[in-house]
Chain A
Amino acid sequence: MKKEAGISVLLFALCAVTACLNPKFISPVNLTNMANIIGLFGIFSIGLGLIIITGGIDLSVGSMFALGGVLLSIALREWHCPWPLAALLVLVIIMTLGWMHGWLITRMRIQPFIVTLCGLLLYRGLARFIAGDATKGFGNCEGFELLRDLARGKLLGLPMPFILLLVVAVVMWLVLHRSVYGRYLFAVGRNEEATRFSGINTRLVIASTYIVAGLLTGISAILFAFYTNSVSPSTHGNFYELYGIAAAVLGGCSLRGGEGSILGIVIGTALLQVLQNLVNLLGIPSSLNFAVMGAVVLIGVLADQLFQRRAEKKLLKS
């Protein structure tokens, strides 16, 4: 809980400073916009967080967005699939890719980094090939207005992605922090061997996180496709996996596994998006965007290390 409190303070401080320097920050338009983006990034970051908690990593998320977006557009506009079928198709395909990653990692014993790095290259290439390297769009969404509204509309004045994030966060909070499965995730991340000795099928636990993350990535893929409204396969979703990893790490996940929380991941996502917004609003050259993000993640993790060390020293003294 301490970690979440720490970055919450950081988040509020950042918001306050930005609001003081540029009141536009708290304008309804800007806040709605930001809620939308936090929703988009938060959903898949939670999935990525689960993988990181088991001690794994997924680098292929951004390429999955490109592949999913391209397929969604083709299914809706060229094959004229009914939209529920098209959406289901995207979800199933991305979950299948997740299952394949899990299988390669647990059965073939290939490192998660390698498996998903290959995925990153493979799916990006496939997306570009399938689309003929052309941008795929959704036109005026004839016949699938409902899907568009689900992805891009508003409910009670809040953007849909943000509402979906709230739902996903609550469900996944129950799964991670209250369910048997969630306990297994932490146990596997902290000591896979001892977990196996307690009669738990650790391979199944690990592989399943890639499928669950696949579902969340699939949902995000649909939302992102409608957010940009056109999918250019060579750039769509580039680097997004890194945003997710950065959010999870800022939120208290350890890449060694066994640490992390849903609340932390959500706050971490929000923090990163506020930073981006701040760069825009304060007139910092947007070329510095990545540099600012990198610096803040580094400072956040460094501060956490220093606090931990101090706490350990205190413990030793007492």
Chain B
Amino acid sequence: MDAPLLDLRGISKRFPGVVALEDVSLSVGRGEVVALCGENGAGKSTLMKILGGVYQPDAGEIRLEGRPVVIPAVNDAQRLGIAFIHQELNVLDNLDVAANVFLGREPFRGPFRLVDRKRIYADTEPYLKRLGLEISSRTRLDKLSLAQQQMVEIAKALSLNARILIMDEPTSSLTLSETDRLLDLVVELRKQGVSLIYISHRLGEVDRCADRVVILRDGKNAGQLSRQEISHDRIVGLMVGREIKSFYVKSNAAKTPGYFKVRNLRSSRYPARAVSFDAARGEILGFAGLVGAGRSELAKAIVGLDPCATGEILLAGQKLALRTSRQAIEHGIYLVPEDRRGEGLVVRMSVRENVSLPWLRRFSSLGLIQRERERQVAAEQVATLKVKTPSTETLVLNLSGGNQQKVILGKWLSREPKIMILDEPTRGIDVGAKAEIYRLMRDLAESGSVVLMISSDMEEILHVSDRVAVMHEGEISGVLQRADCTEANIMQLAVGRKVPAALPAFAE
């Protein structure tokens, strides 16, 4: 039998403190569509980055048509005929189709090496035809829909003689009919002999176009399914088969159900999907879901940071008007955002200035800041949260990730939170600081706050949450009571399937 077109064998990759991939193998035959599935953080992206020349594997080899190859840089992947279609498009929307397809490889003409305009357009047309794309090669990219722009990227890949096309969540921003067309195209490309690696969370798409599904779990091969064996249950089963030790400790806090109610909240990301849920005083409600399920958007809508959001928010039976983030903050509703350095902190300001930023008016008389009070409050937070910083005057820039996160927490904890929303609270934070943050969330809940925790880390969700709300494409697909919080149940809901144990998110 022929060697497969692409064969990854025994690939391992370690990052400081984590094993991202361990002895992973993956092969792709000519004209085969292999779907790559796995939870957030299972190692899919790392594997693809190794294939793309972004990372070098610590062990293992890559064979192309049976011959071992090394891919030291991004250009080399291109030279070997490996092309990527990323989730975020990589096009220049101020240029036309032909200029995008031949970017960096424009045909020249004449003594001044001017771009040969006739040839560039003529050369682009066949690729567009091959993709069944009925647009002119002279159309500017910003006149095209997202789906069409994506097709242009595929045309570019084909023009580079790509033999292996890697699509990473290609349908995440496409409409249903556009998704349909893309899947048709995948089938068409396979017929033309192109091999594809298709990464997607959407099992329906996998089901439709894949010849084979390879499942990764915790950086290892979890198994594979052939065309005949593909079913949602089996894929999810392999994705979640890992063992998770739960450190969950039942909390004895008195809970007040229905203390915080959200009704028909629509964010600008998913205007057609309304979200409603209840949260109890004294509980930690986890928000699970796959990346892009609309959890961060929901959080921003709650705290008044989404000007287009509509819906109702009730706290202790009282309807709140949360048009601006100021109003939310005045009601004690705070957000610890996902993007710590971009949204959570002014990194070129001191610990003191960051902690006091939302409360400056309270620290001032006649508009002038009372620095001594400001410093005291910051020092208190530094002490209670055990922030490792030389002083309250140190720039936040110079602190570690965990300590930066503690500064954001200190900012909000300096005035009692009623609702505390934490978006990926421990991402990129070392184990010690993680444990401290978990304890802090529990303390907060026990002292009578509502804690909403968004996390893509399954372990964290299972470890911390009293209940778990699972989101799928902008909606809450179900809420699981503590006893029903299993990885399998959460994954099923996260990919949009029904689970008997799941409850509706709210009670009227």
User: Which A residues lie at the B interface, using CB under 8 A?
Assistant: 174, 178-181, 183-184, 186-187, 190-191, 193-201, 258
Contacts and interface: CB of A to CB of B under 8 A. Distances in A.
9 contacts: A180-B367, A180-B369, A183-B353, A191-B347, A193-B343, A199-B325, A199-B328, A199-B329, A200-B326
Contacts of B364: 179-180
Nearest to B362: A180
A191 B325 CA distance: 16
Contacts of A190: 346-349
A204 to B, nearest CB: 11
Contact of A180 (B325, B344, B361): B361
Interface in B356-408: 357-358, 360-361, 364, 367-369
B342 A194 contact: yes
A198 B349 CA distance: 14
Contacts of B347: 190-191
A178 B326 CA distance: 22
Interface in B32-91: none
Nearest to A179: B367
A197 B343 contact: yes
A189 to B, nearest CB: 9
Contacts of A258: 348
Q: List the 5 closest pairs (A to B, CB-CB), nearest first.
A: A199-B329, A198-B358, A180-B360, A198-B357, A191-B346
Contacts of B343: 193-194, 197
Contacts of B357: 183, 187, 195, 198, 200
Nearest to B325: A199
B210 interface: no
User: Quick one: which of A187, A201, A258 has the most chain B CB within 10 A?
Assistant: A187
Given A179-B364, A180-B360, A195 B346 contact: yes
B199 interface: no
A197 B335 contact: yes
A25 B11 CA distance: 76
A197 B300 CA distance: 9
B345 interface: yes
A199 B348 contact: no
Given A191-B342, A198-B357, 10 more contacts: A184-B360, A186-B349, A187-B349, A187-B353, A190-B349, A196-B305, A198-B358, A199-B328, A199-B358, A201-B326
Contacts of A187: 346, 349, 353, 357
A174 to B, nearest CB: 7
Given A190-B346, A193-B342, A198-B411, A179 B358 contact: no
B337 interface: yes
B463 to A, nearest CB: 27
B351 to A, nearest CB: 14
Given A183-B353, A198-B358, A198-B411, A178 B346 contact: no
Contacts of B345: 191, 194
B324 interface: yes
B401 to A, nearest CB: 16
A195 B342 CA distance: 10
A190 B361 CA distance: 20
A96 B324 CA distance: 27
A179 B330 CA distance: 21
B373 to A, nearest CB: 13
B369 A183 contact: yes
Interface in B296-332: 305, 324-326, 328-330
A113 to B, nearest CB: 20
Given A180-B361, A183-B353, A194 B346 contact: yes
A179 B365 CA distance: 9
B371 to A, nearest CB: 8
A174 B337 CA distance: 33
Contacts of A179: 364, 367-369
A197 B360 contact: no
Given A190-B349, A197-B337, A198-B411, A178 B369 contact: yes
A248 B271 CA distance: 45
A196 B342 contact: no
A196 B328 CA distance: 12
A186 B368 CA distance: 15
A65 B234 CA distance: 76
